[in-house]
Amino acid sequence: MIRLFSLKQQKKNDEAACKSSQAKKSSPALLRMTKDLNDLNLPPTCEIKFPDPDDLLTFKLIISPDEGFYKNGRFIFSFKVGQGYPHDAPKVKCETNLYHPNIDLEGNVCLNILREDWKPVLTINAIVYGLQYLFLEPNPDDPLNKEAAEVLSTNRRLFEQNVHKSMRGGYVGSTYFERCLKH
């Protein structure tokens, strides 16, 4: 009798675990993320890595621009997609410390589609292209790093020198930057 009871209890536990697992696998965020990843059209300068292959909601994007101020750099962004996705934008942080008007020294990214202009029709692909565009055309008019934005607005040559200095690894003003060049 005790054996029968424990088998019934085990079956209930297994069914509950199975339902929980199915609920996780079929959450709206995960379903949409799966679709976004299947439709993803990464440019050759971008790569996505999943630290945990079973977790599609947490991943890293590596951008290696092949033109512009940040050419030959390697910049890593972490993505955390919440359960509210696609109604809520993913949380994106830059893990590479860099001299950029639209990315502050804490890794916060100023990209309108990650904030006020987010709409559920936007995809991970749109964010990838938005981030890549920040490297091709830094925007001094909407800065998080006001000092870098000021230099870009007033002295493009000095801005370019500061970017290269920071990417090689070194100080720009009193801030030290780790090397982030690919070669």
- Kindly list the catalytic residues: 110
HSE-CB of 18 using CA atoms within 13 angstroms: 6
- DSSP per residue over the chain, as a string? -HHHHHHHHHHHHHHHHHHHHHHHHT-HHHHHHHHHHHH----TTEEEE-SSTT-TTEEEEEE--SSSTTTTB-EEEEEE--TTTTTSPPEEEE-S---BTTB-TT-BB--GGGTTT--TT--HHHHHHHHHHHHHS--TTS-SSHHHHHHHHH-HHHHHHHHHHHHHSEEETTEEE---B--
